[in-house]
Each structure stands twice: as C-alpha cells, then as structure tokens.
Amino acid sequence: MNAPANLTAVLLVVAVTVGIGGYGLRSRSTPDFYVASRTVSPLRNAAAVSGEYVSAASYLGIAGLLATYGSTMLWYGIGYTAGYLVLLVLVAAPLRRSGAYTVSDFAEARLGSMAVRRTATVFVVLIGLLYQVPQLVGAGLALHTALGAPAWSGTVLVAAVVLVSVITGGMRSVTLVQSVQYWLKLTALAVPALALLLVWRGVWHPSGGPSPLPVAHAAGGHDGGQGLYGVYSLMVALFLGTMGLPHVTARFYTNPDGRAARRTTVGVLGLLGVFYLLPEVYGGLGRLYAPGPAAADRAADTEVLLLPGRLVPGTTGQLLTALVVAGAFAAFLSACSGLALSVAAVLSQDLFGGDVRGFRRAAAPAVLVPCAIALLLSGSGMSVAHEVGLIFSVAASTFCPLLVLGIWWRRLTAAGAVAGMLVGGGLSAAALTLTLLGVGGTGWVGALLAEPAAWSVPAAFLTMVGGSLLTPGRVPAAASVMLARLHLPEALAAGPADRSAADGDRSSAVPARSSRDGHH
C-alpha cells in the first residue's frame, strides 16, 4: 500500500471532521447539546442517522464476511436496513412526541419510576460503550493495514477526535459532521466499486499488468440446522435491535415533530438501501479474487481496504485505496461520535446535573472507557460485524420490549419493565460475554450463544408482560394521558394534557426539559 497517500486521506478526514465540528462552537444551550434544539430537518437528519449507523460493521465487516462465508452473510445488510422499517412503523413518531432527551427520560416519563430510569440508564451505557469497542478496534486494524502503524494508534486517534467533537459542540455539531460523512462514505465506496466492476467485466484493463484471474475460495460456511437457526436469530437481532440502539433513538429527539421523525426514517431507509448495495460488491469480488482463504474473520475485515490495489495496480489503485481508507475513518468517527453522545447524555442527566458542563464532564468516560477496552481487545480475532451483531441482540432484548410495550400497551408497569430488561439484557449480555471468551464451541450450545436474540428477545417480552400482569395495581395513573400524547398529533396533544402526563416526582423531567426548548 502507498502509505503517504493513505496517511493524507486519514488526515483530510480528521481535518474535515474537526473543521465542520467547529460549527458546533455555536452550541451554548442545553437543548443545543442534547437535541440540537429540535430543529434538524428530515433530510439532514436522515443523512446524519445514516452517517452514524454506517459503522465499521457496515463498511468493513459485511464485505469481509461475504468474502469468507458467501451469500448467507447478505442478511447483515438486509437486516441493518429493515430495522428502520420496524422503527418507522412502531416507534419513530411516538418517541419524538414524548419530548424526551434520552431513552431513560422516556422510560421515566411513561412509567413514573426512578427504578425504570436507572435500569434503562445502565443498559444505555452498556450498549453505547460496547458498541464503540468494535469501531475503535476496526480503526486500529485499518490504520495498521493502510500505514503499517501500530494498531493502538488508530484507536487512540479516533477516540481523541471524537472526544474533541463531542465536548465542543454536542449534538448540533455532530449532526452536521455525520450528515457530511455519510456522503463521504458513500462516495468512498461507490467510486472504487464502479472501477472494480469495470475491471471484473473486462471493460477496463488497467495499465501495469493484466487483471487477476478469479481464484476459487475455499472458506466454508455454516452447517445444517445450526446455520439456519443463526440466520433467523440474526434477523431477530437486526430487525428489532435497531430501535434499541441509544444513538439511533437519540436522533429522533432532534426532529421538530413526529411527522418530521417519520419523514426522517423514510429518508434513512432510502439512503441505507443505496449504501448497502456496495459492501456486497466488495464481498463478492473479494470472494472471487482473494489470493486464498482468510485466516480469520478479523483478517477478512481488511478485504475492502486491500481489494482496489489487488485489482487495479499502480497509481490508480493507490488512489482508489486511499479513498476507501478515507471512508473507513469517516465510518469510525461518525459511529463513535453518535454513541459517545448518547452515553454522555444519560450520564450527564443522572450523574452530572444535566447541564452543558455536566454533558462535557460525562463525555470523557463515554469515550475513554471503550478506548481502554478496545486497546485490551485489539488482538481479538472476531469479525467486527459479528461483534456488532451480538450488541444488537442486547439492544433487541432490552429496549425493544420497553419501547414497543411502552408506546402501545397501557398496562405496562414499572415492575414488569424492570424485570423484562433485566432478564433480556442479562441473558443476551451473558451470551455475548461467553461468546467472546470462546465458550460453546461449534455445536448447538455455541450456536445459541453466538446468536442469542431468538430466545433472549421472547424471554424479555414474556417477562415484561407477565410482570406487568402480576402488578395491575401499579399501572401509572397518567398512562392513558401519556399514551394520548404519544399517539396524537402535537397540535392536539399540547396543553394541559401534556402537563398532566408529567405528574410524579421525577417523571416531570421530560416535559420540563422540553419546555425549555420551546417544544412542550
């Protein structure tokens, strides 16, 4: 690889990120830092959501898994996109109408319970921190592949840039950065993909040597019933886990109203649908032109970075590679920024006072803790896409039941919600831990642990429903009013009904905060 060109690409992405983030210096108020004062247009928000959602798993991991295991891995791209369809139908508009800043705010306002808020906060922090780890590990791997630099340097570089962006501008600046980075990532994959397809079809014969001949790939796939179970369980995790990702749900609080939240989600479906055509191109060509089977899933994650130079020799191939490297670092930065924002928001609300100063204080652990974990796990051999899939299982097993039942079922109680989150989150988190430790092997036990969503999500729903039915006397008195607020258009739900939905000792926090930014 051409290290100078790749280094220039990385530095340009960092400079653009920091430069555009300077716009965030205009952020001064609490609403600016938490929800960009709820003034983000649907088109910009759709690009920002897509920008932070297209992470290391999407940019590097899907192509690597396709190159290694074949067409079964196409479900990753489908699942990542289809999760927004479920979110559009069930969650997007009501969640915006709640007036919340965070999932913890929503949970407390809906159920009037500090126990629910604290439980939700724990899982927001857990998911947000764990999701950053594969992004930071991927950054180290990419920098090592592109420049030959130590893996830790990429991890530290991304963490430092993210910390500066979050502290200086909060949601306002990060929104603008992520919307620009989506288009950068799309271009960085699309232009080399077009060139590679021209080479593959024989339309373009680059100078410097003939096109490489296709080589049979010997990597195996998944077997029998275990493989089929893994596909279905992965679909459950990706379809239902999207709504449980704290950095995704936080985006819908920045829309002006529920209608804008729905329009944002439709835009996201279109933008992601276009983007996820591209990793399949790299994965398919990588499977055809790879010099041999990948030694490990982590090695396969470099397929996107290596393929342009493999098919297009000379200066042109080096420039295409540099473009791909630039897009990869945009993916790491945008995903980590959104995750750090979501974690800092809930930590600030619950531990640091909830103001701008508290937000900035909370940003440090939100970035530095996953950075430390990533440095410890940098030698792991697991694919970033599979690691992210496991985290989707945790999200689907905790916040999906809470949001769906909280929005659509009046009889949900605080006791049921806490029990469901603890059961679903505990089971999926235990499976994630055991999988990372290598427990289970290749049999059914290993398959059930590697893809736990098929059993952990139903367990969470059943526990949440059962716990609520066993505590009928604890249904919040204002449940009907709150549900009206979630489902009626803002013009009809505003006024005294809005205020009464906030009855309770701490549940008034959401409407009170909303009133400060003019959307109560």
Domain that holds residue 356: 3-381
> Given a cut of 50, is residue 39 above it in pLDDT?
yes
What share of the chain has pLDDT > 90, as a percent?
37
For 325, residues 6+ apart whose C-beta sits below 8 A from its C-beta are 6, 9, 10, 142, 146, 305
Distance, in Å, from the CA atom of 244 to the CA atom of 399, rounded to the nearest integer, reads 5
Assigned token pair, 264: 């944002």
Treating both helix axes as pointing N-terminal to C-terminal, what angle do 151-200 and 114-147 enclose, rounded to 10 degrees?
70
7-17 pLDDT tens trace: 999 999 998 88
Q: Let me know if residue 451 belongs to a domain.
A: no
Mean pLDDT of 316-322: 92
Place of tokens 């607020």: 485
Mean pLDDT of 359-379: 88
What pLDDT score does 221 carry? 46
Determine the Cα angle at 176 with ends 6 and 371, to 5°.
55
DSSP symbol at 57: I
422-468 pLDDT tens trace: 999 999 999 988 887 878 777 889 889 989 999 999 999 999 999 99
Q: Let me know if residue 306 belongs to a domain.
A: yes
Phi and psi torsions of 353, nearest 5°:
95, -15
Mean pLDDT of 51-70: 85
What pLDDT score does 207 carry? 65
Determine the Cα angle at 231 with ends 227 and 234, to 5°.
130
Q: Let me know if residue 441 belongs to a domain.
A: no
Distance, in Å, from the CA atom of 515 to the CA atom of 455, rounded to the nearest integer, reads 41
Task: Among 3-7, 68-72, 170-174, name the one with the lowest average pLDDT.
Answer: 170-174
> What is the number of domains present in the chain?
1
Task: Among 133-147, 236-250, 326-340, 434-448, name the one with the lowest average pLDDT.
Answer: 434-448
Mean pLDDT of 198-213: 70
- Would you say 68 and 300 are in contact if contact means Cβ atoms under 8 Å apart? yes
Distance, in Å, from the CA atom of 258 to the CA atom of 276, rounded to the nearest integer, reads 27
Assigned token pair, 231: 């596909």
For 80, residues 6+ apart whose C-beta sits below 8 A from its C-beta are 53, 57, 58, 238, 242, 272, 276
Phi and psi torsions of 281, nearest 5°:
-65, -45
Q: Give the residue from 210, 99, 76 showing the smallest Cα distance to 485.
A: 99
Q: Let me know if residue 296 belongs to a domain.
A: yes
CA distances from 371 to 117, 177, 333, 391 (A): 26, 21, 13, 17
Task: Among 158-167, 179-188, 323-332, name the one with the lowest average pLDDT.
Answer: 158-167
241-288 pLDDT tens trace: 998 888 887 777 777 877 888 888 899 999 999 999 999 999 888 888
Q: Let me know if residue 292 belongs to a domain.
A: yes
Q: Give the residue from 388, 342, 356, 421 showing the smallest Cα distance to 137.
A: 388
Alpha helices (H) along 98-150: 103-111, 114-147
> Given a cut of 70, is residue 503 above it in pLDDT?
no
380-391 pLDDT tens trace: 666 677 788 889
Treating both helix axes as pointing N-terminal to C-terminal, what angle do 3-21 and 114-147 enclose, rounded to 10 degrees?
150
Reported confidence tier of residue 324, pLDDT bands at 50, 70, 90:
very high
- Would you say 120 and 399 are in contact if contact means Cβ atoms under 8 Å apart? yes
| Predicted TM-score of the model (pTM) | 0.84
Mean pLDDT of 142-147: 89
Q: Let me know if residue 220 belongs to a domain.
A: yes
- Would you say 331 and 90 are in contact if contact means Cβ atoms under 8 Å apart? no
Assigned token pair, 185: 């990532």
CATH number (domain holding residue 335): 1.20.1730.10
CA distances from 506 to 107, 150, 354, 358 (A): 11, 48, 13, 19
Distance, in Å, from the CA atom of 175 to the CA atom of 40, rounded to the nearest integer, reads 8
Treating both helix axes as pointing N-terminal to C-terminal, what angle do 303-311 and 278-289 enclose, rounded to 10 degrees?
60
Assigned token pair, 95: 């969640």
Q: Let me know if residue 414 belongs to a domain.
A: no
Mean pLDDT of 357-379: 87
Mean pLDDT of 397-412: 95
Distance, in Å, from the CA atom of 374 to the CA atom of 147, rounded to the nearest integer, reads 19
Treating both helix axes as pointing N-terminal to C-terminal, what angle do 303-311 and 314-351 enclose, rounded to 10 degrees?
170
Q: Looking at this protein, which amino acid is placed at residue 305? A: L
Alpha helices (H) along 22-91: 30-35, 42-53, 56, 62-69, 74-90
Reported confidence tier of residue 489, pLDDT bands at 50, 70, 90:
confident
Mean pLDDT for the chain? 83
- Would you say 255 and 355 are in contact if contact means Cβ atoms under 8 Å apart? no
Assigned token pair, 184: 């950068």
Q: Let me know if residue 157 belongs to a domain.
A: yes
Question: DSSP per residue over 241-287, as a string?
Answer: HGGG-HHHHHHHTTSSSHHHHHHHHHHHHHHHHHHTTHHHHHHHHHH
Distance, in Å, from the CA atom of 40 to the CA atom of 57, rounded to the nearest integer, reads 26
Q: Give the residue from 55, 51, 53, 31 showing the smallest Cα distance to 43.
A: 51
Assigned token pair, 263: 């329009």
DSSP symbol at 330: H
> By CB neighbour count within 10 A (0-12 exposed, 13-18 middle, 19+ buried), where does 466 fall?
middle
What pLDDT score does 270 carry? 93
**In the chain, what is the straight-line distance between the N-terminal and C-terminal CA atoms, in Å?**
55
